Amino acid sequence: MTEQLIDIGTRLAGLRQIQGYSEADFARRMEITDKDLAAYEKGERDFSFSFLYKAAQVLGVDIMDLMSGDSPRLSTCCLVRAGGGYAVDRLAAYSYKHLAFTFRDKLSEPFMVTTAPSDNGAPPELHTHQGQELEYMVSGRTRFFLGDVTYDLEPGDSVYFNASIPHATMALDGKPATFLAVVIGQ
């Protein structure tokens, strides 16, 4: 459990309450158990991007409201220098840097994602969210899972897919891999 996970959980609980959702109603809308929601809100369970994206949609807020507690303010341009972006420190295999974190009313959510190699080589948990997604490989190699199909990807390769199909990305060769992920909502 990290301080960032606890902060996100606290914001999630507060926004849920402000919007008037009971724990049971919000859990149902998120398609998770009440127990899982309680773990998220306490910062005891790691957040997948899919979960945060869907929670922001259900709550009617920008994903950065959940991730940082700071609403985006710019509407003309968001400049992020090499290696920059709003970092999301996570416990699991993915680390994210949001590349448009100060831009409001985004039509997409762009992230630079680094995935660590699996300790046990087991396939990752697959997640879903609304919309479509593009993943463009920057470095390393990954295995991309989409439903029952897998693709091995190398730098320069990309996949564009319906994000409502369960999906995940796993680093190969025992080394981290980095890709640009752009989520386009509906």
Q: How much is the mean pLDDT over the chain? A: 90
Answer with the one of 40, 67, 94 that is the final residue of a domain.
Answer: 67
pLDDT of residue 169: 93
Do 114 and 176 sit in the same domain of this protein?
Answer: yes
Structural domain span for residue 93: 86-184
Give the whole-angstrom CA distance, residue 125 versus residue 127.
7
Q: Based on the domain organization, do 93 and 52 belong to the same domain? A: no
75 assigned to some structural domain = no
Residues counted in the chain:
186
pLDDT tens track for 130-158: 899 999 999 999 999 999 999 999 999 99
Using alpha carbons only, what angle is made at residue 131 by residues 68 and 146, rounded to the nearest 5 degrees?
Answer: 105
Q: Which structure tokens are listed for 32? A: 């998770």
Give the pLDDT of residue 5.
Answer: 84
Look up the CATH number of the domain holding residue 146: 2.60.120.10
For residue 181, the model assigns a pLDDT of 95
pLDDT in tens, 45-103: 888 878 888 999 899 888 888 888 888 887 888 888 998 998 876 556 778 899 998 98
Question: What pLDDT, on a 0 to 100 scale, did the predictor assign at position 49?
Answer: 79
Residue 117 maps to a domain: yes
Percent of the chain with pLDDT over 70: 97
pTM assigned to the model: 0.79
* Residue 85 backbone phi and psi in degrees, to 5: 120, 165
Q: Of 96, 88, 117, whose CA–CA distance to 177 is shortest? A: 117
Using alpha carbons, list the distances in angstroms from residue 117 to 23, 143, 154: 35, 11, 15
Residue 177: helix, strand or coil by DSSP? strand
| 148-157 contact pairs (CB < 8 A, 24+) | 153/179
CA distances from 118 to 92, 124, 142 (A): 10, 8, 11
Higher pLDDT, 127 or 160: 160
* Overall domain count for the chain: 2
